[in-house]
Amino acid sequence: MTAVATLDLDHLRKWIGKTHESTDTITAQMVRGLRATFFLDIGNPVKGDAAPLAIHWCLAPQVAPMSEIGPDGHPARGGFLPPVPLPRRMWAGGKTDFRDPLRVGDEVSKVSKIVDVQLKTGSTGTLCFVTLDHSFSTARGEAVFERQDVVYRDNPPPGGNKTSTSAAATSAPQPQHQKKLKADPVLLFRYSALTFNGHRIHYDRPYVTEVEGYPGLIVHGPLQASLLLEYAIALRGKLPKTFMHRGVSPLFDGAEFTLNAKDSSDGGLELWTENSAGAPTMKAGARW
């Protein structure tokens, strides 16, 4: 029996409303590592200095013993997250509201809540979306609020998932600003280490090509989003209040990719990453 055939939505929806609380402390070393990974000036951060805006994606990650790690490198299903039987799990996107800058030395409380579980059908088959809310607070009050979507899907049939960087580019707008970067294994390793992310699609080439059927290591969704967020800050010279992001296609290592931006009609920025063939891989928007 396939994983899709055993998927019981009513059972999975019993996880709606579950919460998980955790804490973390922002250190100067964490900020240095993140700045280096985001191609920013590393500097010498000290207590009270503002951290990169996307540092919340590094805070209080789930820490499971090695005996509880699943075959994909994630903690085994169940517990806080619902036990979705589909084998592949990826970050789909979300929306983040920034209310107070996080700073070196801050003790951060993270409260996560499952708010929805839905099944959808896409071009690759059955998809299960789990929506979570994350609230990050310091002694000054709530600093960041994020609504996050995680998608689960089945493994592809043999030879059925060979998405290539040479795929024809979809209709993307003409950028007003563009910056080229290189996706290489060191960049992916650094971000996995900073976020304590053991997902094997980001560092284990035999696994990602032979088991999940992709042509290369996959650039993290939150890494792409973070780079777009920093690009928006550099272009406007000030911190946005809201940032929205959605993955549209995998981005693979081994080639250049670009950060792109153009003014939006509401005074914000429309942003997206493109692979070496000019096809968008993540779309985002920043609002001030």
DSSP string, 169-186: P---PPPSEEEEEEE-HH
Decide: residue 259, CB within 10 A, 0-12 exposed, 13-18 middle, 19+ buried.
buried
Q: Which residues contact 285 (CB under 8 A, 6 or more apart)?
A: 243, 244, 245, 264, 268, 269, 270, 271
pLDDT at res. 59: 98
What CATH superfamily is the domain 9-287?
Hotdog Thioesterase (3.10.129.10)
The pLDDT score that the predictor gives to residue 4 is 55
Cβ atoms of 105 and 21 within 8 Å: the answer is: no
pTM: 0.92
Q: Please, what sign has the CA dihedral across residues 221, 97, 48, 61?
A: negative
Q: CA-based angle 158:163:167, to the nearest 5?
A: 145
Q: What is the pLDDT of residues 119-143, one digit of tens each?
A: 998 776 899 999 999 999 999 999 9
Please tell me the predicted confidence (pLDDT) of residue 166: 47
pLDDT in tens, 154-173: 877 665 555 544 444 556 78
Token digits of residue 179: 């910056």
- DSSP reduced 3-state for 265: coil
Q: Is the dihedral of CA 47, 48, 53, 59 positive or negative?
A: positive
